[in-house]
Structure 1
């Protein structure tokens, strides 16, 4: 199943029919079901809330109701009927499919050896920069402020004066279930989506001072519109994220082509490390890190993003995530 956030209008269920993709309003269409499934869906949005956390917490009961609704809408569309107001996906403005406006998002750094190795060489960083090169090297990364995340089609506008803006194609996963067992690498996943971690490289190249000190706010990552994800969240389809292909194109030119199989630390190992210090649970997100092919890997003369560039991230099972860059 696939879920989207319709801009300003709640949660949508994605339905494929006859080679086309549609969206139906989840809460609004639930009334077409019998009382039991309808109530299960409506109870997922108490008081009109659009957070997905109640749905994730009650997933065993909600899942069957969503499957029933999906089959009903598909049957309608296949028969040329539309009783539930299905709209073509291409005509629906979308917000980022975060589980909650205050989602906790843990982003990995240096987690793909090819990317991290080239970055370390360019920046004269120690080998420990490359996460997962040894069993005793813990995962490292940064925290993403959810308010910096935009959806598909959004314009990415780095701070005025930014000269070196980079792209990082990634996979974002959402934990399911209740509290994650402390220190366990057995992770329960509820969903995944495509992610682009737009990154300012001016600081790393000595062009400006943005983050400084042994502890930073990661402002080179956490600027307005600095992250995008979507267009949808893949949920509960025997999710296997161990070998998802990740690609990034800039103006149709392939820049990155990797797979989660190349992650230095798996999502399970990342969750195990973080949960030793911070409780993790359903709705929390972990980002994979990015494969090789970023502009920064080629130093100051790399193919950094320019005004008007269209950046596309493609992840298996997810429609392409596209954003346009507007430099200040």
Structure 2
């Protein structure tokens, strides 16, 4: 099942994608897709619906963030060994964790707005893991039972802020619009093996990233278990699990960074695609 939210900011509605790739309106069943609807009982109820009996949305317009109340966006750094190498960093012995501010979260095709005076903004296609059941000190063997589903995340990063401004990654990761998620949440039953998903990213039609989740240093199950030992993972929290090689920082002979007018396209097998246009600093594009 592919769950989604659509509509302009402040007027989003819940929906699902039917087998023909059409959006169906769920607002007659639930007011919005929130963390309260990600548990097994709620997902089973939604899965029992006949999509053909739900209103067809001919023009869904904007695809909104997949859950209305994402509580935490926890990210994993250097989780692909070849990406660590291109970044000039060692493969970590334990997962590297950092957080993106929830104010960075946007719909999958919303404008990406560069921070004022940004010169080193970068891209990162990543597998997002959406928590469905509260997880606290869970074992690896049971960890995937706490996952509601998966999504595409673009972990945009301002490298100067991240690496040259005092050592805190959060500075370069949590900028407004730097967390596109979606287009939909694919429930875990449709992703039997999250460690075998092809992923890619292009900028202005040029392929920069091509990878597969099987090359992760730490698996999804390991990450859910590990993170649950440092904080409670609540329904609606999202874990962004790291990126394969090909980021702008790692380009040779010189890094390549995002500029206004650039167009990104990215996707993960079975989880959909995102498309974003990069804009210079303009708060109206963030708030509008």
Both structures adopt the same fold (TM-score exceeding 0.5) = yes
Name structure 1 gaps, 5 residues minimum: 31-41, 43-47, 74-83, 132-136
Give the greater-gyration-radius structure (CA).
1
Q: Which residue of 2 aligns with 1:161?
A: 117
* DSSP-derived class of the 2:94 partner: coil
Query: How much does 1:303 deviate?
Result: 2.2
2:94 is aligned with 1:138: yes
State which of 64, 67, 73 in structure 2 corresponds to 1:95: 64
Instruction: Provide, for residues 129-185 of structure 1, a one-character-per-residue CA deviation record: whole Å limited to 9, x for no partner.
Output: x23xxxxx21112012122111122111111211121100001011223x3251511
Alignment of 1:52-91 (within 5 A): 52-57=34-39, 59-60=40-41, 62-73=42-53, 84-88=54-58, 91=60
Instruction: Check whether the contact 1:175–1:282 (CA below 8 A) recurs between aligned residues.
Output: yes
1:105, 1:4 → 2: CA distance? 18
Alignment of 1:293-308 (within 5 A): 293-298=246-251, 301-308=254-261
Q: Superposition RMSD on alpha carbons, in Å?
A: 2.2
State which of 285, 290, 293 in structure 1 corresponds to 2:238: 285
* DSSP-derived class of the 2:266 partner: strand
TM-score (norm 2): 0.87
Q: Which residue of 2 aligns with 1:34?
A: none
State which of 16, 23, 29 in structure 2 corresponds to 1:13: 16
Alignment of 1:126-275 (within 5 A): 127=90, 130-131=91-92, 137-177=93-133, 179-185=134-140, 186-187=142-143, 188=145, 189-203=147-161, 209=165, 212-213=166-167, 216=168, 218-239=170-191, 240-275=193-228
Q: Which residue of 2 aligns with 1:76?
A: none
Instruction: Check whether the contact 1:101–1:147 (CA below 8 A) recurs between aligned residues.
Output: no
Instruction: Check whether the contact 1:148–1:224 (CA below 8 A) recurs between aligned residues.
Output: yes
Worse-superposed segment, 64-73 or 188-197: 64-73
1:218, 1:300 → 2: CA distance? 27
Aligned residue pairs, count:
274
Change in 2 beyond 3 A, CA 1:274/1:95: same
TM-score (norm 1): 0.77
Query: How much does 1:310 deviate?
Result: 0.9
Change in 2 beyond 3 A, CA 1:300/1:197: farther
Name structure 2 gaps, 5 residues minimum: 282-288
Query: How much does 1:217 deviate?
Result: 6.5
1:12, 1:204 → 2: CA distance? 36
* DSSP-derived class of the 2:84 partner: helix
* DSSP-derived class of the 1:272 partner: helix
Change in 2 beyond 3 A, CA 1:96/1:261: same
